[in-house]
Chain A
Amino acid sequence: MRIRTAGVIAAAGLLMLGVAACGGTNEPAATPSKDKGNGKLVLWTDPTRAPVLKPFAEAFGKENGVTVEVKEISENQQQTFITASQQGSGPDIMVGAHDWIGNMVQNGAIDPVQLTAEQKAAFHPNAIKAVTFNGQIYGAPYAMENVALIRNTDLVPTAPATLEDLIKTGKDLKAAKKVQEILCVPFGAAGDVYHTYPLFSAAGGSLFGTTAAGDPDPSKVTVNTPESIAALEKMKALGEKGEGAIKTSIGNENGIPSFVQKKCAFLISGPWSMNDVKKAGFGYDISAVPGFAAGGQAKPFLGVQAFYVAAKGKSKVLAQEFVANYVTNKDVALALYKADPRPAALTAAADEVKTLDPNAEKFVTAGANGIPMPAIPAMGAIWGPMANAEVAVVKGGDAKTAAEAAAKAITAEINK
């Protein structure tokens, strides 16, 4: 019996120790008031941006006398954020791409951000357009990105005016054994709707119709309209059974390296390729992806990185202060650019950036015709089926059959 008592005493002792320890850490220093927030701001971002944002977040914390925690989420940021928000363990601020907005809004995970007319005017119009969803602004943009045509100026001194020019130059260089490939556009065995969208749109293709308000309309999927089928025909002509400019053997894993190794004179890629391209040791230039001689302009997708206020955060007012009033500041935007060079969304900062880095400006110019990537949740249904249809035509499949199959799969996914 003695042992039992000893055990109980030991367990009770441990319990009390535990309670005391927890009490020690949890007890706030100041006397709490009833509606007290925690005076703490939590920001989630991806691992590449976390070290960049940390000093700015900390500066904000110092300025306002609060603690700021920057936490990096290694993958699946959007789903992680939505799930955590729902459970009440999410952050106060989320950083991410603007095309998440539709899904975050339908899950009630983010709140609109009220920007003043003056603040809105300070942003690049495309950036504001990208973060606007159902007429509301849902985030403060800070960086923009889009793909452009990057060419090796040692091989091609002047930018091609049309896609036909581009193909001809590429073929001549290939015939002269100066390159192995006509064009490096990341496509891969699984297809890549994002990188090929300039070509698809230049050929007249589109994904959605538009609503009366000018937003993409999920009830009007246009991948199998005659225009889109004609565009897929043109991609087929550029594909493996045609010119050989779009190939499934060139993907994200080898697109940029192939360009750097001079296997191709042209690359379609975004600002993220610049680190590698700069080190390549040859002259390069950035221009807009050209359109077809007889056709429309190439419209790359515009992506905008933005700060969002979590709807279920614990420090919402502080989060709004950070998003609406702090990162919209020109000096903050400029500092962010210096830490992580991506074309700035704030026009005033972009003007100053221009003198620092001409590449950023060239990417913005190349994206002038671009369209913000649709932020509606239905966009998620596009990627897979559309990529499959593009792979099919690039391999020589029938464009109409592929377009119909993609439209069927997309509509089924949207209406599920």
Chain B
Amino acid sequence: MTTEVTGAGSASSPHPGSSGQAPDQRSRGGRRGEAEQVRRTRELSTGFIVSRIAVLGIVAALLIYALPPLIRTEAWTALVIVGVVTALVAYLYLTPRHIPAKYLVPGTIFLIAFAIVPIVLTFVTAFTNFGDGHRGTKEEAIRAIETSSVTQVPGSPEYYLTIAERDGELVFLLVDPATKAVQAGTAEGLTPVDGAEVSLTGKVLAAAGYTVIPTAQAAERDAEIAAFSVPTAGGAVKATGLSRAFEGKADKSYDAACDCVTSPSGGRWVADEVEGYFVNAEGEHLDQGWKVDVGFANFKKALTDPTISGHFLNVLIWNFVFAISAVATTFALGMIVALALHSPRVRGTRIYRAMLILPYAMPGFAMLLIWRDMFNTDFGLISKLFGVHDWLGTPTTARLGLIVINLWMGFPYMFLVITGALQAVPRELTDAARIDGASAWAGFRRVTLPLVLVALTPLLISSFGFNFNNFNNIKLVTNGGPYAVDNATVGATDLLISYTYRVAGFDSGVADFGFAAAISVFIFAIVATVSTVAFWRSRAQEEVYS
């Protein structure tokens, strides 16, 4: 009863002042009286009001921040979600009920926003061809195709442009650079203008019946000017900036009747909804494509394409070797150092600890590049110490080198967490083992290690997950290499993640997100399986030792 009341009391009042008062108030009354007391305690506390206002203020600020862009981009679904979540949070912190939810909801919202939504998006993307060339909608692709096919009508003048107005309507005043003749271009077409005053640079200074718009004001009507075009016999006059105009003609146009793009100069590209491209009879496609659903094609390709699946097993084996060695070596070294500094006989432990944390505290990217240069065949430190060898150019030494680098970067973390765990192991237990006649090794092996492991298994599992996807180490040190002479696709030190990064085209700047997402789903499945099995086993272990 006591623990329950104290728990509820502290849970319902976020400020520390009330938890001391709560138990004695509660001991006087029954359940109902207790609730009354809790409520009164809250009413009295300014900390409560301040904390609620803070939480609700942040929520309201986020809502206000999110509204204008969502409305502008017409993202109604997102708007509804934001609104519902805000309302839920506001309700939750304004009602005295639902006390556990007050604590769970913020974490849950963050979990959904930053863990579950990205995973769901990755899964969804895996079923599309989203990537470079297929980012937008079909309408956007059509617009881009038409826009980029606009060329100047041969022989047409390259006009000087002055933006003007007549009866509130936009007018292009066009000056032919050769003849200095002035024409007014409206949505109806071109009409000659007489008696206009033209500057030496071709700007119209004044024209009867037209009001010249100053540049600054014209710049504010950007969208209107960009959309404006003056129809002509050969095409249409469009603005090139605010000072020039040209007579252009689109070479390609979309025809909804045949769902195809046609060109007067010959050429017909029919929409292919499977590929997300406009394709002609020869099988060639226009550059601009759009996003389409491709079903399981990405997964199928990952499993059946020989350039990908052919190397999958080798990469996977090395991936496991790397991740397991990374965890095992950093854990072993971290443990040795932690045990050494845990001994009461060691002096100056603080200095040692500070120094040992240094590799962990330095920026990883820079350290990786320095390590890469230390392995340089002709100029590197390693070659100077151990003799000239193509360290990162030979598969075995490249792999060993990566594990050594990872050990150096990773052991301080293990050292830190093991030091913490060791301090939680009661000295009586190790003392008792020694009195019972156990050797130092046996005491460590049978008492200290199991107790430390119970606390550290989750960290080891997450370390495995991290190293399984340790992209930085591979990318910056070897970039997957060395590559065999007959294989330019996959290198000896490629992990699944660095390999797929390349296969999905991120290296080359032309990315295939859909395919990358499909591979991510595979990697997710592997790491999730390994983690689940490990957690399941560690739970069994916990039952034994606790």
Contacts of A249 in B (CB 8 A): 376-380
User: Can you offer 24 A-B residue contacts whose CB atoms are under 8 A?
Assistant: A3-B42, A4-B95, A14-B60, A18-B64, A26-B68, A35-B221, A37-B219, A37-B222, A63-B215, A65-B214, A65-B217, A82-B135, A106-B288, A108-B148, A116-B158, A189-B393, A189-B481, A189-B482, A249-B379, A325-B240, A325-B241, A384-B507, A402-B488, A416-B301
Selecting from A42-50, A151-159, A279-287, A404-412, the interface stretch reads A404-412
Answer whether residue A177 sits at the interface, using C-beta atoms and an 8 A cutoff.
no
Answer whether residue B502 sits at the interface, using C-beta atoms and an 8 A cutoff.
yes
Selected from A6, A15, A66, A412, the residue in CB contact (under 8 A) with B64 is A15
Answer whether residue B542 sits at the interface, using C-beta atoms and an 8 A cutoff.
no
Answer whether residue A322 sits at the interface, using C-beta atoms and an 8 A cutoff.
yes
Selecting from B17-25, B49-57, B465-473, B521-529, the interface stretch reads B49-57
Selecting from B242-250, B266-274, B403-411, B428-436, the interface stretch reads B242-250
Report whether B132 and A377 are in contact in the complex, using a CB–CB cutoff of 8 Å: yes
Contacts of A391 in B (CB 8 A): 393, 481-483
Give a binary string over B350-382; 1 marks a CB under 8 Å from any A CB, 0 the rest: 000000000000000000010011001111100
Interface residues of A (CB under 8 A from B): 2-4, 6-8, 10-11, 14-15, 18-19, 22, 26, 30, 33, 35-39, 63-66, 78-79, 82, 86, 88, 100, 102-103, 105-108, 111-114, 116-118, 134-136, 189-190, 247-250, 253-254, 311, 314-318, 320-325, 377, 379-386, 388-389, 391-393, 395, 397-398, 401-402, 404-406, 408-410, 412-413, 416
Selected from A39, A78, A398, A412, the residue in CB contact (under 8 A) with B220 is A39
Contacts of A111 in B (CB 8 A): 147-148
Contacts of A4 in B (CB 8 A): 94-96
| Cα of A60 to Cα of B143 in the assembled complex, Å | 30
Report whether B135 and A107 are in contact in the complex, using a CB–CB cutoff of 8 Å: yes
| Cα of A408 to Cα of B307 in the assembled complex, Å | 9
Report whether B486 and A405 are in contact in the complex, using a CB–CB cutoff of 8 Å: yes
Contacts of B373 in A (CB 8 A): 253-254
Shortest CB distance A332–B (Å): 14
| Cα of A218 to Cα of B378 in the assembled complex, Å | 38
Shortest CB distance A39–B (Å): 4
| Cα of A111 to Cα of B248 in the assembled complex, Å | 14
Shortest CB distance A7–B (Å): 5
Report whether B64 and A10 are in contact in the complex, using a CB–CB cutoff of 8 Å: no
Shortest CB distance B435–A (Å): 57
Report whether B148 and A317 are in contact in the complex, using a CB–CB cutoff of 8 Å: no
Report whether B222 and A106 are in contact in the complex, using a CB–CB cutoff of 8 Å: no
Report whether B226 and A317 are in contact in the complex, using a CB–CB cutoff of 8 Å: yes
**Known contacts A11-B90, A39-B216, A325-B244; is-contact A413 B481 (Cβ 8 Å):** no
Selecting from B3-11, B191-199, B317-325, B510-518, the interface stretch reads B510-518
Contacts of A63 in B (CB 8 A): 215
Shortest CB distance B276–A (Å): 11
Report whether B223 and A36 are in contact in the complex, using a CB–CB cutoff of 8 Å: yes
Report whether A117 and B158 are in contact in the complex, using a CB–CB cutoff of 8 Å: yes
Beyond A37-B220, A316-B222: 7 further Cβ-contacts under 8 Å? A14-B57, A63-B215, A318-B219, A318-B242, A377-B132, A380-B505, A380-B508
**Known contacts A11-B56, A413-B505, A416-B512; is-contact A3 B43 (Cβ 8 Å):** yes
Contacts of B221 in A (CB 8 A): 33, 35-37
Shortest CB distance B132–A (Å): 6
Residues of chain B from 487 to 541 with CB closer than 8 A to chain A in the complex: 487-489, 491, 502-503, 505, 507-512, 515
Closest to B391 in A: A189
Interface residues of B (CB under 8 A from A): 39, 42-43, 48-49, 52-53, 56-57, 60-61, 63-65, 68, 73, 90, 93-96, 132-133, 135-136, 140-141, 143-144, 147-152, 158, 214-227, 239-244, 246, 248, 287-289, 301, 305, 307, 369, 372-373, 376-380, 390, 392-393, 478-479, 481-489, 491, 502-503, 505, 507-512, 515
Selected from A65, A135, A382, the residue in CB contact (under 8 A) with B216 is A65
Secondary structure of the A contact surface, majority rule: helix
Report whether A103 and B509 are in contact in the complex, using a CB–CB cutoff of 8 Å: yes
Contacts of A10 in B (CB 8 A): 49, 52-53, 56
| Cα of A398 to Cα of B378 in the assembled complex, Å | 23
Report whether B511 and A7 are in contact in the complex, using a CB–CB cutoff of 8 Å: no
Report whether B288 and A7 are in contact in the complex, using a CB–CB cutoff of 8 Å: no
| Cα of A97 to Cα of B182 in the assembled complex, Å | 39
Report whether B508 and A37 are in contact in the complex, using a CB–CB cutoff of 8 Å: no
Report whether A190 and B481 are in contact in the complex, using a CB–CB cutoff of 8 Å: yes
Report whether A405 and B479 are in contact in the complex, using a CB–CB cutoff of 8 Å: no
Report whether B132 and A107 are in contact in the complex, using a CB–CB cutoff of 8 Å: yes
Report whether B510 and A317 are in contact in the complex, using a CB–CB cutoff of 8 Å: no
Report whether B488 and A388 are in contact in the complex, using a CB–CB cutoff of 8 Å: yes
**Known contacts A10-B53, A325-B240; is-contact A106 B287 (Cβ 8 Å):** yes
| Cα of A155 to Cα of B336 in the assembled complex, Å | 55
Report whether B133 and A64 are in contact in the complex, using a CB–CB cutoff of 8 Å: no
Contacts of A384 in B (CB 8 A): 488, 502, 507-508
| Cα of A135 to Cα of B225 in the assembled complex, Å | 26
Shortest CB distance B37–A (Å): 14
Contacts of B307 in A (CB 8 A): 408-409, 412
Report whether B511 and A79 are in contact in the complex, using a CB–CB cutoff of 8 Å: yes
Report whether A248 and B73 are in contact in the complex, using a CB–CB cutoff of 8 Å: no
Closest to B64 in A: A18
Contacts of B478 in A (CB 8 A): 189
Q: Identify the interface centre among A65, A82, A311, A388: most chain B CB within 10 Å of its CB.
A: A388
Report whether B486 and A108 are in contact in the complex, using a CB–CB cutoff of 8 Å: no
Selected from A18, A30, A382, A402, the residue in CB contact (under 8 A) with B486 is A402
Contacts of B223 in A (CB 8 A): 35-37, 314, 316
Contacts of A35 in B (CB 8 A): 221, 223-224, 227
Closest to B52 in A: A7
Shortest CB distance A251–B (Å): 8
Report whether A108 and B144 are in contact in the complex, using a CB–CB cutoff of 8 Å: yes
Report whether A106 and B289 are in contact in the complex, using a CB–CB cutoff of 8 Å: yes
Q: Identify the interface centre among A11, A26, A38, A398: most chain B CB within 10 Å of its CB.
A: A11
| Cα of A190 to Cα of B197 in the assembled complex, Å | 64
**Known contacts A3-B49, A112-B148; is-contact A18 B60 (Cβ 8 Å):** yes
Report whether A112 and B486 are in contact in the complex, using a CB–CB cutoff of 8 Å: no
